[in-house]
Structure 1
Amino acid sequence: MRKVSFAEFGGPDVLQLIDAEEPHAGPGQVRIAVRAAGVNPVDWRVREGQVLKAHPTELPSGVGLDAAGVVDEVGAGAEGVEAGDRVFGEGAGTYAEFAVLAAWAHMPEGLSFEEAAGYPSVVETALRVLREVGVRPGQTLLVSGASGGVGSAVLQIARDRGVAVIGTAGAANQDYLRDLGAVATTYGEGWVERVRRLGRVDAALDLAGSGVIPELVELTGDPRKVLTIADLGAPEHGVRFSGVAGSVPDALAEAAGLIARGRLHIPVEKSYPLAEAAAAHRDSQAGHTRGRRVIVL
């Protein structure tokens, strides 16, 4: 099969499309013929060799955690699934023609493979950070870097739970945030005062790692009310860094339910063929994403 791999840590150019042996489903796993794979920031952080305890890397390594496709192998003990089922989920080395998933859910009706591939890690992260930051119905959550995949999910899930949301993003994404139910404002000079004018902030999430942790602490009044998934230096300010996945199967099941109820939709901003994985990483690292980027096969 064809897969994207890297033999050394570095920039996007270390990614190579190679011929490789097909993986096979182990106990409790399924193998899919991949139709699309999600592009996540963790993918290029692993490729760069950043220290991520949740994702230890041995070289050479495949790339990708999220995928959607058609089941063609079912491992021993994997229940409720059979060959031919359309599923989306999380595994390893998903930028490939075949991938093994350790967690999956059946795709809701009407969802394309391209769309489905953008959900697994994003929704797991969104559910986890909302739980860890402790925001409650009736309170207001500030989301810095709100227009990307995780931000898009956070905004919709928070609103579904009765939490008001203020989101910061670039000028081009203000209407997008409003369409997701957030009160929107731009980042950049004067953003703290703009947020203050919008009202009280009970908790805050940093999803972009753009160096705003001190300001988020100032706005909430308590570092314990701030959480980041992108700033490794946050603990220096007393702010928690959340980088370890929670229960992925539960998150996938909740995602499927939200999608089926029409309460969650994350658009695909751009898709790339397998051979252009490096371009997908460059664009992901540049930021300013609205929704998701995916690899399609």
Structure 2
Amino acid sequence: MSAEQDTLATPGWHAQLRLTFARPAERTCLVERQHRGPLLVQRPFYPEGDVCHAYIVHPPGGVVGGDELELEVDARDSTHVVLTTPAAAKFYRSDGRTARQKQTLRAKQSTLEWLPQESIYYPQSRVRSSTRIELESHAKLIGWDIACLGLPARNQPFDRGELHLHLELWVNGKPLLIDRLRLAGNDNNPSGLNGQQAVGTLLAYPATRAMIEAVRTLQPPGVELGVTLVDDVLVCRALAAQAEPIKHAFIEYWQTLRPLLLNRAAVSPRIWAT
């Protein structure tokens, strides 16, 4: 058996993590946790008292072709959950197989803040990634997704490979945003990306015109930003040469939006400082 055949015969990681949050007393608690394979959650933190900060961890540190990751989060009535990751997600060069990631986040009569670090898609990676957010019964959301195409700091563009990146927002069973990004081969600079290597989307719901005006006054450096308000969803789209300016811009937007939407000052997850 050749080395290539041996690699293709090796099964990838199949990891699942299911989290349920409830509020049995005075604060949001992680009441149920199920996992299989290398996808974990750290012990929750409570820097704000009643708000639960939880960190999603993928111990291998990177995703390769054949890996499958599935995350399912259920935030039940009256909870407030802040979810983030300790580091960027790295999708490495593929041996021909496709890496798959599926994330489903549900919030009912609760508040969900989905603030992951960026995803880095290495040249020659093959990835299908979908994030679906489902809100019900007056739930509130601030969330984002940031993708870095290739390794721009090393002058390694995403010149080979294939990406299917999906982001959806549903409210009370109706789709308010369905976003599809597909990149293949040397098509990493299609019309719409303006030659940039990093792209991001930030969402806030339910948003107001005042929130739009508040973030439009901000001028973070090194990033192109566009903000719209449709069906009570604030959508910010960002382009930059690298992911870092987008991340800094989104954090600044989050710090501005959080008091307006949630009536809380922004308290950054501790893991961001490490």
Band the TM-score falls in, shorter-chain normalisation: under 0.3
Higher strand share: 2
Higher helix share: 1
TM-score by length of 1: 0.25
The answer to which structure, 1 or 2, has the higher relative contact order (CA under 8 A, 6+ apart) is 1
TM-score by length of 2: 0.27
